[in-house]
Structure 1
């Protein structure tokens, strides 16, 4: 059993994210789901990203950092798309992380001004033709991280959907999501 902090995607802390957290809890883990949008949810990625831009990405990261104040340092950070911002920031800068899982996104490690922590295991999951992940350069950031650390693994799934792991969205891919979930639970079991 590990303690996990799951940061939501740009649609907010939706029922799909809550269901994802429930799956992790069913695996025996303690899961925290901070609400970076203070109760707001959105129907489209464009609306959610616009809201995040209005808040400011730096503030999104700081809200994530404040959400873990008072929690143990030995956490696994999980980010769904936009949620990768605080998850990656905390994995790289907050001592004691036990692991990191980035779904549908990854940033260059230089965004947070520090090297990837030595021997910090991480998984990154995305679809191989996701226009955001591939087109926006996230895949290059992952390859650079994996080149620096043998403990960073990239898993690509066939398809072009962005939030394919959220069972309540049209982008949901049951087969890919099932494999992702198995890999994620195996990762957590090893922490």
Structure 2
């Protein structure tokens, strides 16, 4: 089974994030979901961002990296919003990554590395009209990341039947909420949260079966 490291969003290690991690555990995967907020949780993006700003985004990202360094290298990194920062950095720069899932945020190519590592499957999930994702440049960053990878062996924009045919996917859902996958958030959308979880579990099954991207 896959080893998975999940980083929480600006809201902190919410019950919704823990529920997502438990779903992956129930499927047999080993999941680590660290608390970067030292027990703090928030109900809004604004409140969470204020706290993250006080602690320092670079400090939180570095903490995520230090936590990963205590774990095996063969990790699948999953980041929700703020958690994308350490997840994407580790997937692009730490050897041994088996895959990555970026949810509601994407960092432009070049921030950590100019290319996505060959053979590492990637899913980017967001709502198509989420103003945070669209207006703050994350959608453009996601498209640029996918396009920069599509020319690599195994890369494909539209996906395929196997991980080898679809190493990178940008998946946009109808809607405009940011925390649609967190059941403890007012943003939660049951249908698309289930779709995201199913997609992640399919990815993990493929990795577990030894399919390479």
- Indicate the TM-score class for this superposition, using the shorter chain for normalisation: over 0.9
The list of structure 1 runs, each at least 4 consecutive aligned residues, that deviate by more than 2 angstroms after superposition, is none
Render the CA deviation track for 1:22-45: whole Å, top value 9, x for unaligned: 011111110001111111111221
In the alignment, which of 173, 179, 194 is matched to residue 157 of structure 1? 173
Q: Distance in 2 between matches of 1:89 and 1:78?
A: 11
Query: What is the alpha-carbon distance in structure 2 between the residues aligned to residue 52 and residue 116 of structure 1?
Result: 27
Long gaps (5+) in structure 1: none
Secondary structure at 2:100's aligned position in 1? strand
2:191 to 172, 175, 183: 175
CA distance in 1, matches of 2:168, 2:108: 13
Q: Is 1:24 the counterpart of 2:40 in the alignment?
A: no
- 1:78 corresponds to 2:94: no
Aligned to 2:46: 46
Shift of 1:119: 2.3
Q: Give the Cα–Cα distance (whole angstroms) in 2 for the partners of residues 70 and 11 of structure 1.
A: 24
**1:187 matches 2:203:** yes
Structure 1 SS opposite 2:54: helix
1:67 lines up with 2:67 in the alignment: yes
What TM-score comes out, normalization by structure 2 length?
0.87
Tell me the SS of whatever aligns to 1:64: helix
The higher radius of gyration belongs to 2
Cα distance in 2 for partners of 1:9, 1:31 equals 16
TM-score of the two chains, using structure 1 as the length reference = 0.97
- 2:3 matched residue in structure 1: 3
Q: 1: CA distance between counterparts of 2:75 and 2:48?
A: 27
How much does 1:114 deviate?
4.5
> Hey, what's the Cα distance between the residues in 2 that align with 1:118 and 1:18?
30
Structure 2: distance between partners of 1:70 and 1:172: 32
Separation in 1, partners of 2:95, 2:34: 20
Q: Is residue 127–residue 177 contact of structure 2 (8 Å, CA) maintained in 1?
A: yes
CA-based RMSD = 1.0
